[in-house]
Structure 1
Amino acid sequence: MRKEGRGHFTAALASAEFRAMWLAEALSQIGDQLARVALALLVFGRTNSALLTALTYALTFLPSLLGGLLLSGLGDRFPRRTVIVVTDVLRGCLAAAMAIPGLPLTVLWCLVGVLTLAGSPFKAAQMALLPDVLPEGRYQAGLGLRQVTMQTAQLAGFGLGGLLVTAIGPSWALLLNGGTFFVSALLVITGVHARPASRRDRASSGGEANVVRGRDPRIAIPFAVNCLLGLIVVPEGLAAPYAHEAGASVVMVGVLMMADPVGSVFGGWWAGRSSPPPTTRSAIVPMALAGLPLAGCAVTPGYVWPIVWWGLSGALATIALIRGQTVIVAVVPDARRATVLGRLNACLYTTQGIALVAAGAVADQLGPRGAVAASGALTTVLAIGAALVWRETRPEKRAAGGEARSAGPDRSVLTIAHDDSSPGSTRDGHPGAGA
């Protein structure tokens, strides 16, 4: 594996194609956050209903599950740059339509749902294209930079969204959001090279199907570890009752909610700057550690230390997320890359929703602090369980196909070598798979 440029954001930014994709995604992310603020204010201003406002906000997330399961494969059937551009243009038109004054709420909700649905093939195609854009030594650095940028854009979008919407009005803010999609499409058209559809290059095999269906432990374990992120976001959902229980002011609710995203920024920076060879253990260990700070909330009352714990947990979980995705990228065949990426994204949304609902029920019994501590402890236990499962399945995979290569005589982990002979490599020797 080449080492030049490994772990440095500047090395990832040296790729003109990556810069175009990076800027396009950051622009879309800021626009999305602005639109969520604008929609919330628009619907609440027209209906004065908290329920309808919450429903509108939920529609900016919920269709992602359906889209991830049903539409992510478009990035494998068609050229990925084409999928990115078409979905961006479609979302730009839908966002602009939402700015029409006096639009009935039912029509507005339909537009929001379809726009969110279209985001799934966009995300799958974009992440599937990323390993082709970045050489293997720069891929993890690129993921880290993306995470830092997206979390920063989310914070900036929410922080400045209220001021901007107040200044220009919800309709103009929605129109501005539509413009960000068109600019994003233009950046991708002008900055990213055209490539053929992946399925034209290689046919699907039974082994590839097993990978996509999660039957291959090489992908199943990192996939499961990444989905544990749903437990890590529990504190965000319980920030308001947690602050109330701790006797904190309303301002501290926002500070508590920002702790995990801020930690995620540092985690993305660390993962991008220090990128070890992609191994299953390099993903499991930080995820297991990410649960411990949350569990520590059980013995640290108040809200000062929990801010630190939540930020530390977010940083470790982000490191695990990036490293786990790097492992998956090295295993999944190129012809299935977008499908697996989309399903991973859908599972992340699903586990987060389930975890938040379950945590709310637990908080009614144990209190918010107990629920947060329980989510952390469960994260660590499940991550350790995944490690034990991996230790049992790895020797079988080595004996069956010789595809899992030991990282050393004392390391029971999977190390993927990025070369032309690996199962998921492309013709140019770059990682040929992703998730």
Structure 2
Amino acid sequence: MTEPAARFRDVLAVREFRFLWLAQAQSRVGDQIARVAVALLVFERTDSAALTALTYALTYLPPLITAPLLAGLADRYSRRAVMVAVDLLRAVLIGAMAIPGLPLPIVAVLLVAVTCPEPLFSAARIATVPKALPGNLFPVGMSIATSTDQIAQIAGFALGGVIVNAYGPHAALAVNAATFLVSAALLQFGIGPHVPEHDDPSSRRGSGFALAGIRLVVGDKRLLAIAGLVWLVGLYVVAEALAAPYAAEIGAGRESVGLLMSSIVIGTAVGALLVARLGTEWRRRLTVPLAVAAGLALAATAAAPPLWATFALWTLAGVCHAYIVLAQVRFTMFIPDGMRSRAIGFAAAGLQTAQGLGIALGGLLAQALSPSLAIGICAATGALTALVIGVASREAVDLFGGAARRSAERVQRV
């Protein structure tokens, strides 16, 4: 019998989720404010677009290395303690960056340092959500969190511009430091310790502990397939990365760049809320089809349609990007609690790598062909890959039900 979907108010009634949700939302706004502040700070001092872009990249690159290395700490210790410690550390480091007159090399070092523990925090947070929201509450909670995260990104960039313009980049960095302190307080007093569950305490020791999550994902056909679907975002994010040259190609003005970039974010926020109320069986059935549809909607960009049509296609692609929520829910629930943070950390590192490689590939294709063709080729490749993954892993059987349900039940028993 299909488990009925939970209601939004059922999820928001859970005290621990409310604190996790609020802590993440306001912290995400602060992160985006800081990205704007750092970019403008570097550009003002150097007048170099290359150095500004390099500094912006430093907010994404370190987690590629630290995600699989640090995430295991959230499977060793209280996840609340891990999250609070990371927030306090980041508050101190960002606070130091807010000091006026700090040399740019030191700012860069601090920026790398503050981004390094981010995967540890994310792994601990995501691993905590299914404990705070058991059963059918968990998928709805993930949908709410994802939708809020998308909205927070837009709000953060907008507020970042306002704060920097009114008070300068150092004030904006101070605001971000304050959001980390608020997050630490909300988590410390709003949720329980959430110590990871281990059948054998000795399993938390040994040199192979940090790599156990990688071995689990790589060794399980279904987990690797779900992670692969998430990593396809690396091909879909090319549209956002090439929004500026694409707008120039179709003759749209500069003001259209922000509109195009926000269309996918808005669509994802809407899509995450739409899939929240899906029952268990529909969540299984729609993961692969939505992943394919997201690529097909973006692939139509190859025809270089006018601005209004592009906006509609990219928004539709964003709605279909809600497959990521479905994939994350399935991935998380298939992982034992004592190994969730390490597996999530590995998946997060793969996503970061895929985004970096996808953007690099899209840039090369745009240079050789055109932005529209680059976006279309990458998106079509993503759609085809999603279909292949679905067929190869039997995820596509979800379209017909039955076999996938029995297969998933066997995995859960194991």
Q: TM-score, normalised by structure 2?
A: 0.92
Q: Deviations over 1:277-333 (max 9, x none)?
A: 48654311110111111122233522221111111111112x211111111122111
Alignment match, 2:404: 413
Structure 2: runs of 5 or more not aligned: none
Alignment match, 2:148: 149
Match of 1:221 among 225, 235, 243: 225
Q: CA deviation at 1:189?
A: 0.7
Moved more, 163-172 or 75-84: 163-172
Alignment match, 2:330: 327
Aligned pair 1:104/2:103, yes or no? yes
Separation (CA, whole Å) in 1 of partners of 2:341 and 2:282: 20
Separation (CA, whole Å) in 2 of partners of 1:423 and 1:106: 52
Task: Tell me the SS of whatever aligns to 2:101.
Answer: coil
Alignment match, 1:257: 261
Aligned pair 1:336/2:339, yes or no? yes
Aligned pair 1:176/2:175, yes or no? yes
Task: Tell me the SS of whatever aligns to 1:195.
Answer: coil
C-alpha distance 7-232 of structure 1, shift in aligned 2 (>3 A)? farther
Q: Give, as a single letter, the amino acid of the residue that structure 1 aligns with 2:392.
A: V
Separation (CA, whole Å) in 1 of partners of 2:202 and 2:2: 29
Contact 2:213 2:346 in 1 (8 A): no
Moved more, 232-241 or 359-368: 359-368
Separation (CA, whole Å) in 2 of partners of 1:358 and 1:409: 35
Q: What does 1:308-387 correspond to in 2, within 5 Å?
A: 308-317=312-321, 319-387=322-390
Alignment match, 2:26: 27
Contact 2:247 2:256 in 1 (8 A): yes
Contact 2:67 2:346 in 1 (8 A): yes
Contact 1:81 1:194 in 2 (8 A): yes
Moved more, 134-143 or 45-54: 45-54
Q: Give, as a single letter, the amino acid of the residue that structure 1 aligns with 2:88.
A: V
Q: CA deviation at 1:3?
A: 4.2
Task: Tell me the SS of whatever aligns to 2:117.
Answer: helix
Q: CA deviation at 1:407?
A: 7.5
Contact 1:278 1:327 in 2 (8 A): no
Separation (CA, whole Å) in 2 of partners of 1:80 and 1:327: 21
Task: Tell me the SS of whatever aligns to 1:413.
Answer: helix
C-alpha distance 275-165 of structure 1, shift in aligned 2 (>3 A)? farther
Contact 2:287 2:327 in 1 (8 A): yes
Separation (CA, whole Å) in 2 of partners of 1:352 and 1:414: 31
Percent identity over the alignment is 38
Q: CA deviation at 1:199?
A: 3.6
Contact 1:259 1:307 in 2 (8 A): yes
Separation (CA, whole Å) in 2 of partners of 1:16 and 1:374: 45
Aligned pair 1:230/2:230, yes or no? no
Q: CA deviation at 1:160?
A: 1.9
Contact 1:233 1:260 in 2 (8 A): no
Q: Give, as a single letter, the amino acid of the residue that structure 2 aligns with 1:384.
A: L
Moved more, 192-201 or 155-164: 192-201
Match of 1:295 among 289, 292, 299: 299
Aligned pair 1:242/2:233, yes or no? no
Contact 2:362 2:378 in 1 (8 A): yes
Q: Number of residues paired by the alignment?
A: 408
Alignment match, 1:65: 64
Contact 2:198 2:338 in 1 (8 A): yes
